[in-house]
Amino acid sequence: MEREVEELREYFCAGKTREASWRKQQLKGLLKFVKEREEDILKALKLDIGKHPVEAFRDEVGTLIKDINIALDNFDKWMSGKKIKLPLAAYRTSAKLVAEPLGVVLIISSWNFPFGLALEPLIGAIAAGCTAVIKPSELSPASSALLAKAIPAYVDPEAVKVIQGGIDVCGQLLLCKWDKIFFTGSSLVGRIVMAAAAKHLTPVVLELGGKCPCIVDSISNSWLTEIIIKRLLGGKFGICSGQVCIGVDYILVERKQCSNLVELLKAGIKRSLGEYPEEFVARIVNIHHFRRLTGLLDEFGVKQSVVYGGRFDENKLFIEPTILVDPPLDAEIMTGEIFGPLLPIITVDKIEDSINFINSRPKALAIYCFTSNNKFMQRITSETSSGSLMFNDTIVQYAADTVPFGGVGESGFGRYHGKFSFDTFSHEKAVLKRALFPDFWFRYPPWTNKKLELLRAAFAFKYFNVLLVALGMKKAKKIPTNI
Ligand code: NAD
């Protein structure tokens, strides 16, 4: 493995990956992979997680095509660098920021979006001019195998390697020296990654998870309510069966609104998934996670709070969309990330109490809030902290390339998507060039009263005073003698 990483470093040092034409060619190769192998990708996703092909296209194939095209369209602009204005103290100096590739990077990904979570960061790494190893998840073996087999045929195999394996392989990879590690997964493993990276002072991006709350302010029975319900359910059961880092983890609603909300949610589930949700929702990834999720319902006091669903089939790894009202707050369903199709509703006296509820828990990757009250929106914005905050919809922030995607606090740090991905794998180097004349003599010793006065004026941006002192028209104070 070390040899493979060394080869990637040699290739990076040879300079090929810095060429704009090379980078574009690789991005085009990636696009070709996604387009040409669409059917294989959809099949792999069906095998690994039982994703419906339409959902799989929306969340993986379509999103990747869009994002690679965005990178191709904007790549020249991203690479061109930025001119920077300087203060007069740096008179006759020009400055710009030049993006240089970080080097050899490691991308460790999760199984719930096995193509997107491996290839989205790769788009940024390639655009930035890096070489990369992708370590996809062992929990989505069909998708990982497809990536390992096909990527070398579409993208320069000397620059991008897909290394399959589980914890052991990941552990070995983490022993190597990288220029950046981009990790998507749990906060538990995130800590292991960060500790390993610290040994080589390697910067890391940690795309982690957590519990994403969704506040539902007043619910009326207008036609708009139907849209709210669709968007809310879409952000839970309509995407990988709730096995999503930015999926709705639980709802906060006023007690008096709760029964109305439950009825609307039940009707919404029946409308979109019908009597046989197995057909439209992804399955649970494996038996371990299936038992973890059904086990959450077994904890004391939790099953009694189920108001809808609760049916499951171990052979099919299927769990019915399930709604719970006020499960015990100290039960695991409310203390840990659910990552599955169980949706607790927590009732509060006043909707404003949801702010304290959220703030008494670790910072979320996303907060959602359905409200038409602008004052409440402002309060949520200024009084809570989360990776992203979305009003009146769910998940959409993931697809918006002009906003960064990433966490804060326990939900991780670092960001990507669009230009942010390019920046994540680049070092923005400050490049300055100065004329040799004029030279500000008062920067250098021997120190005098006059030089101190000139420095005082220059650091205060009082350039007229600089002139007066320089011409002897303003008297210089004495250097303090008691120092
Ligand atoms: P995980 O942390 O178990 O695994 C992620 C990756 O780490 C895998 O490639 C796995 O092989 C590797 N790994 C696992 N254990 C390891 C160990 N002990 N040492 C070294 N490497 C190890 O997470 P997961 O089950 O794949 O994903 C679920 C978690 O990921 C959830 O918490 C979810 O919220 C989070 N997630 C976050 C995002 C995001 O974009 N922020 C996206 C998807 C998933």
Nearest atom (ligand 1) to Cα of 113: 43
- Class of the domain covering 2-208+418-429: alpha beta
The answer to whether the CB of 239 is under 6 A from ligand 1 is: no
Ligand 1 center from residue 269 Cα (angstroms): 29
The answer to whether the CB of 68 is under 6 A from ligand 1 is: no
Please state the separation of Cα 223 from the chain's center in Å: 33
Q: Residue length, the chain?
A: 483
- Residue of the CA atom closest to atom 30 of ligand 1: 185
> How far is it, in rounded angstroms, from Cα 237 to Cα 342?
9
Cis peptide before 321 (omega within 30 of 0): no
> How far is it, in rounded angstroms, from Cα 375 to Cα 369?
13
Nearest atom (ligand 1) to Cα of 411: 41
> How far is it, in rounded angstroms, from Cα 457 to Cα 463?
7
Report the pLDDT averaged over residues 54-77: 96
- Residue of the CA atom closest to atom 13 of ligand 1: 167
Q: Look up the pTM and report it.
A: 0.95
Compute and round to an integer the Cα radius of gyration of the chain: 27
Q: Where in the chain is the domain with CATH 3.40.605.10?
A: 2-208+418-429
The whole-chain average pLDDT of the chain stands at 95
For the segment 383-417, what is each residue's pLDDT rounded down to a tens digit?
999 999 999 999 999 999 999 999 999 999 999 99
The answer to whether the CB of 301 is under 6 A from ligand 1 is: no
Phi, psi of 181 (to 5 degrees): -120, 125
- Of 91, 82, 75, the residue nearest 22 (C-alpha): 75
DSSP letters spanning 156-174: -TTTEEE---SHHHHHHHH
- Of 261, 233, 228, the residue nearest 248 (C-alpha): 233
Long-range pairs, 235-239, Cβ under 8 A, ≥24: 235/368, 235/393, 235/394, 235/395, 236/321, 236/341, 236/343, 236/394, 237/269, 237/273, 237/277, 237/281, 237/321, 237/341, 237/343, 238/55, 238/272, 238/281, 239/55, 239/59, 239/395
> How far is it, in rounded angstroms, from Cα 23 to Cα 221?
52
Please state the separation of Cα 69 from the chain's center in Å: 19
| CB of 432 closer than 8 Å to CB of 416 | no
Contact partners, residue 260, CB within 8 Å, separation at least 6: 219, 221
Ligand 1 center from residue 357 Cα (angstroms): 27
The answer to whether the CB of 365 is under 6 A from ligand 1 is: yes
The answer to whether the CB of 17 is under 6 A from ligand 1 is: no
- Of 383, 372, 388, the residue nearest 217 (C-alpha): 372
Q: How confident is the model at residue 2 (pLDDT cuts 50, 70, 90)?
A: confident
> How far is it, in rounded angstroms, from Cα 202 to Cα 206?
12
Ligand 1 center from residue 175 Cα (angstroms): 18
- Of 414, 419, 426, the residue nearest 401 (C-alpha): 419
Query: Of 5-14, 74-83, 242-251, 269-278, where does mean pLDDT reach its minimum?
Result: 269-278
Report the pLDDT averaged over residues 309-330: 95
Exposed, middle or buried: residue 189 (CB in 10 Å: 0-12, 13-18, 19+)? middle
The answer to whether the CB of 114 is under 6 A from ligand 1 is: no
> How far is it, in rounded angstroms, from Cα 65 to Cα 137?
22
Q: Where in the chain is the domain with CATH 3.40.309.10?
A: 213-406
What residues are annotated to the active site?
Answer: 207, 245
- Of 153, 151, 161, 109, the residue nearest 130 (C-alpha): 161
Report the pLDDT averaged over residues 221-243: 92
The answer to whether the CB of 175 is under 6 A from ligand 1 is: no
Exposed, middle or buried: residue 74 (CB in 10 Å: 0-12, 13-18, 19+)? middle
Phi, psi of 215 (to 5 degrees): -90, 130
DSSP element (H, E) containing 365: strand 364-370
The answer to whether the CB of 295 is under 6 A from ligand 1 is: no
Angle at alpha carbon of residue 450, lines to 445 and 455, rounded to 5°: 70
For the segment 424-481, what is each residue's pLDDT rounded down to a tens digit?
999 999 999 999 998 989 999 999 999 999 999 888 888 888 889 888 888 888 888 7
- Residue of the CA atom closest to atom 23 of ligand 1: 185
Largest separation between any pair of C-alpha atoms in the chain: 91
- Residue of the CA atom closest to atom 4 of ligand 1: 185
Residue 220: pLDDT above 90?
Answer: no
Number of helical (H) and strand (E) elements in the chain, helices listed first: 19, 18
The whole-number pLDDT of residue 90 equals 87
Q: How confident is the model at residue 221 (pLDDT cuts 50, 70, 90)?
A: low
Asked if the 213-406 domain carries CATH number 3.30.230.10, the reply is no
Ligand 1 center from residue 474 Cα (angstroms): 66
> How far is it, in rounded angstroms, from Cα 355 to Cα 351?
8
Question: DSSP alpha helices (H): ranges in 287-373?
Answer: 287-298, 332-335, 353-359
Give 469's Cβ-side CA count (13 Å radius). Answer: 19
Nearest atom (ligand 1) to Cα of 365: 41
Give 265's Cβ-side CA count (13 Å radius). Answer: 28
| CB of 241 closer than 8 Å to CB of 329 | no
Nearest atom (ligand 1) to Cα of 171: 20
The whole-number pLDDT of residue 357 equals 98
- Of 217, 24, 45, the residue nearest 114 (C-alpha): 45
